[in-house]
């Protein structure tokens, strides 16, 4: 029965040493260890929280960037389109103007030509009339001297004076 | 859930009781032989090997630290014997005086590790026995280990744990989160953590020290487990709140006349809890030691070294199991202590459905 009979001495020593252990470890080991543990846990949690926040911020930043990029691209397209339109318009205007100018020039040339032509015709008419008068005068003069030679002369002149 | 837990605890106590009863016939039977064995002790090695006596000797406390006896020479560390008698006051001796010759010295006689005084006065024995010495070693070890761990935390603040610190950290966190926080609750667990952690590591390290060859059987000693159980009992009842006491003396939802039966049952239950703690730890550790020693004794009983081919590996296997039991029993003691404290500090609100 010795095995299950607690001895007084051992109870006393066990009580003394165990309480000492609870006190010493409690004050100098468990307390700092547990506070370090919870501190570290807190810092890890904070770090995770910060990482999550940073990640969200990054995502936000990226979204913002993408949006800005898309906007810039859109704007560029718009500017390009506008520029193209302006250029087209300018070309069209220039073409138009050139065509009109050319037309006006041609018209002017034509008008000048017509005027000249009219003048030439008028001059020719006058000339013809004068020549006709001269011929008539000469014919008349020759008629008076030689009939044959007068005819030959008229034919000759007529051959020379080709009217155009 | 609480009820379920106490059923489990009850089942475990019954099992341990059965276990210890099954384990005891041999030890009881050997007891008779002890006197005879003692008588033949003087004749030296010629005596028959007595496994019961040997085993009982190994699991019991003694006043010296005996390692081995080879031929006539005893390899033992003498320990201080501290005796108090009302008649003669405090006396301190070396244990060597009592282990040589008749066991009588300066009016005190050591017989079967019990001191008697010549003048018939009651002897109060406060000796530093083998168990007390081992206890001191474990205390020094625990302080050394956890001061090192604490210093590591101070030195490596905010960094990942390293070395012994990382070996101990999971256990500390486990006791804090899975035992204390889980069973006692967020609100109160902090107060009880030092006790729970100390109990766990104290039992564990002493269980493991007890497995070393020639070591003392501290946690397998009823005085040690009794002290721990009584401390738990005191902590539980000093922290008992209204809910705890009404469940003992005025179980809610039970007819008044039934309380005549219920209250004594509850009071017995109150006592049974620490009692089961005491018996469980003692029986488990001592049973483990008895099994190991019985296995080794087979070699000497059959006087065959060849048997060690079988016994050896099996003893190694059993020692492995004992290593598991060492941490398991520490855990069980801590968990049950936490659950008893948890029941004591429980607030009223969630008990309405009982």
Task: Decide if pLDDT at B5 tops 60.
Answer: no
Kindly list the residues from chain B whose CB atom is less than 8 angstroms away from the CB atom of residue A22.
194-195, 198
Q: What is the pLDDT of residues B314-352, one digit of tens each?
A: 999 999 999 999 999 999 999 999 999 999 998 765 544
Q: Looking at residue B45, what is its pLDDT?
A: 46
- Local confidence band at B20 (pLDDT 50, 70, 90 cut-offs): very low
Interval B156-171 mean pLDDT: 88
Residue % of chain B over a pLDDT of 70: 85
In this complex, the residue of A7, A17, A37 whose CB is nearest that of residue B61 is: A7
Q: Which of B135, B191, B282 to mutate to test the interface with A (most CBs of A within 10 A)?
A: B135
Is some CB atom of chain B closer than 8 A to the CB atom of A2? yes
Partners of residue A14 in chain B, C-beta under 8 Å: 135, 223-224, 227-228
What confidence score (pLDDT) does residue A164 get? 55
Name B173's Cβ contacts closer than 8 Å, sequence gap at least 6.
A37
- Does residue B135 carry a pLDDT above 60? yes
Low-confidence ranges of chain A (pLDDT < 50): none
Q: Which residues of A touch B124 (CB under 8 A)?
A: 8-9
For B201, what's the count of Cα atoms within 13 Å in the CB-facing half-sphere? Answer: 31
Distance of alpha carbon B163 from alpha carbon B11, whole angstroms: 39
Highest mean pLDDT pick, A82-91, A129-138, B86-95, B104-113: A82-91
Per-domain residue ranges for chain A?
Answer: 18-160
Cβ within 8 Å, pair A33-B172 = yes
Would you state the torsion angle of the CA atoms of residues B157, B160, B166, B170, taken in this order, to the nearest 10 degrees? Answer: 100
Q: What is the mean pLDDT of residues B240-266?
A: 87
Q: Across the interface, do A29 and B147 touch by the CB < 8 Å criterion?
A: yes
Least confident of A152-156, B52-56, B272-276: A152-156
Geometric angle at alpha carbon B8, from B4 and B11, rounded to 5°: 140
ipTM entry = 0.81
Q: Is B173 an 8 Å CB contact of chain A? A: yes
Between chains, do A10 and B129 touch, taking CB under 8 Å as contact?
yes
Is the Cβ of A12 closer than 8 Å to some Cβ of chain B?
A: yes
User: Which residues are within 8 A (CB) of B343 and not within 5 positions of it... i.e. 6 or more apart?
Assistant: B2, B236, B244
Mean pLDDT, residues B119-147 taken together: 93
Distance between alpha carbon B245 and the CA centroid of its chain, in Å?
Answer: 29
Choice between B26 and B19, residue whose per-residue pLDDT is larger: B19
A42 touching B, CB under 8 A?
A: no
Give the minimum alpha-carbon distance from B316 to chain A in angstroms, rounded to a whole number: 26
Cα distance between residue B77 and residue B87, in whole Å: 30
- Cβ-in-10-Å burial (0-12, 13-18, 19+) of B117 comes to middle
Assigned token pair, B87: 């008649």
Mean pLDDT of all residues in B225-237:
96
**C-alpha A116 chain-centroid distance:** 52
Q: How far does chain B reach from its first CA to its final CA, in angstroms? A: 11
Q: What is the pLDDT of residues B164-218, one digit of tens each?
A: 999 999 999 999 999 999 999 998 999 999 999 999 999 999 999 999 988 899 9
User: What whole-number distance in Å separates Cα of residue B344 and Cα of residue B185?
Assistant: 11
Asked whether the beta carbons of residue B194 and residue A25 sit closer than 8 angstroms, the reply is yes
Backbone angles phi, psi at A56, to 5 degrees: -60, -45
Q: Do residue B149 and residue A5 have CB atoms under 8 angstroms apart?
A: no
CB contacts of B204 in chain A (<8 Å) are none
* Pick from B257-261, B274-278, B283-287, B324-328: least confident: B257-261
Q: What is the mean pLDDT of chain B?
A: 84
Cβ distance of A17 and B127 shorter than 8 Å: no
Query: A109-139 pLDDT, tens per residue?
Result: 989 988 888 888 888 888 888 888 888 888 7
A17 with B154: Cβ contact below 8 A: no
Residue B25 has pLDDT above 70, yes or no: no
Please count the residue pairs, one from chain A and one from chain B, whose beta carbons lie less than 8 angstroms apart: 119
Rounded mean pLDDT, B89-112: 86
**Disruptive mutation site among A35, A36, A45 for chain B (greatest number of B CBs within 10 Å):** A36
How far apart (Å, rounded) are the C-alpha atoms in residues B174 and B166?
13
CB B90 within 8 A of CB A9: no
**Phi and psi dihedrals of B163, rounded to 5?**
60, -135
Give the pair of three-digit tokens for residue A118. Answer: 């009219």
Q: Cα A144 vs. chain centroid, distance in angstroms?
A: 91
φ, ψ of residue B101 in degrees (nearest 5)? 75, -135
Give residue B354's pLDDT.
45
Give me Rg for the CA atoms of chain A: 63
Q: Is B198 in contact with A13 (Cβ distance < 8 A)?
A: no
Kindly report the nearest CA distance between residue B234 and chain A, in angstroms: 13
Over its C-alpha atoms, chain B yields an Rg (Å, rounded) of 24
Answer whether A11 sits within 8 Å of B227, measured CB to CB: yes
Pairing of strands B80-85, B89-94: antiparallel
Residue of B nearest to A5 (CA): B222
Residue B306's pLDDT is what? 87
Q: Check pLDDT > 90 for residue B72.
A: no
Chain B residue with minimum CA distance to A11: B223
Q: Can you give the pTM of this predicted structure?
A: 0.73
Q: Which are the contacts of B192, defined by CB distance < 8 A and separation ≥ 6?
A: B180, B184, B235, B338, B341
C-alpha B272/C-alpha B224 separation (Å) is 17
C-alpha angle B157-B159-B161 in degrees, rounded to nearest 5: 100
């Amino acid at each position: 029965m010795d095995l299950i009979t607690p001895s007084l001495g051992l109870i006393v020593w066990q009580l003394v040493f165990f309480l000492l252990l609870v006190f010493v470890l409690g004050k100098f080991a468990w307390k700092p260890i547990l506070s370090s543990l919870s501190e570290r846990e807190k810092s890890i949690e904070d770090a995770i929280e910060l990482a999550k926040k940073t990640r969200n911020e990054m995502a936000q930043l990226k979204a913002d960037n993408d949006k800005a990029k898309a906007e810039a691209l859109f704007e560029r397209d718009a500017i390009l389109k506008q520029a193209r339109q302006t250029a087209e318009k300018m070309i069209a205007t220039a073409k138009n103007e050139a065509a009109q100018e050319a037309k006006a020039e041609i018209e002017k040339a034509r008008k000048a030509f017509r005027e000249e032509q009219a003048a030439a015709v008028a001059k020719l008419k006058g000339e013809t009339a004068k020549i006709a008068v001269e011929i008539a005068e000469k014919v008349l003069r020759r008629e008076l001297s030689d009939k044959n030679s007068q005819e030959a002369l008229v034919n000759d002149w007529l051959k020379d004076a080709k009217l155009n | 859930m609480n009820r379920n837990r106490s059923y489990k605890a009850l089942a475990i106590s019954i099992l341990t009781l059965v276990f210890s009863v099954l384990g005891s016939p041999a030890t009881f039977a050997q007891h008779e032989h002890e006197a005879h064995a003692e008588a033949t002790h003087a004749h030296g090695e010629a005596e028959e090997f007595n496994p019961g006596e040997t085993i009982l000797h190994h699991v019991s406390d003694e006043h010296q630290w005996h390692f081995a006896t080879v031929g006539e020479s005893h390899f033992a560390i003498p320990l201080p014997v501290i005796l108090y008698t009302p008649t003669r006051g405090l006396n301190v001796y070396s244990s060597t005086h009592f282990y040589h010759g008749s066991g009588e010295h300066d009016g005190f006689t050591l017989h079967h590790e019990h001191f008697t005084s010549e003048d018939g006065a009651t002897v109060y024995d406060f000796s530093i026995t083998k168990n007390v010495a081992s206890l001191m070693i474990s205390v020094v070890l625990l302080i050394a280990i956890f001061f090192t761990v604490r210093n590591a935390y101070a030195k490596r603040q905010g960094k990942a744990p390293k070395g012994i610190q990382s070996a101990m950290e999971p256990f500390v966190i486990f006791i804090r989160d899975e035992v204390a926080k889980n069973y006692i609750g967020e609100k109160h667990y902090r107060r009880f953590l030092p006790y729970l952690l100390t109990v766990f590591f104290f039992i564990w390290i002493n269980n493991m020290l007890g497995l070393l060859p020639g070591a003392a059987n501290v946690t397998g000693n009823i005085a040690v487990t009794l002290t721990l159980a009584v401390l738990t009992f005191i902590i539980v009842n000093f922290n008992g709140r209204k809910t705890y006491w009404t469940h003992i003396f005025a179980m809610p939802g039970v007819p008044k006349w039934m309380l005549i039966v219920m209250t004594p049952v509850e009071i017995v239950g109150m006592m049974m809890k620490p009692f089961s703690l005491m018996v469980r730890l003692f029986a488990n550790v001592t049973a483990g030691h008895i099994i190991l020693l019985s296995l080794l004794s087979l070699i000497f009983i059959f006087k065959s070294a060849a048997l060690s081919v079988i016994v050896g590996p099996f003893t190694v296997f059993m020692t492995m199991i004992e290593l598991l039991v060492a941490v398991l029993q520490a855990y069980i003691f801590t968990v049950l202590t936490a659950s008893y404290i948890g029941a004591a500090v429980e607030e009223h609100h969630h008990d309405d459905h009982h």
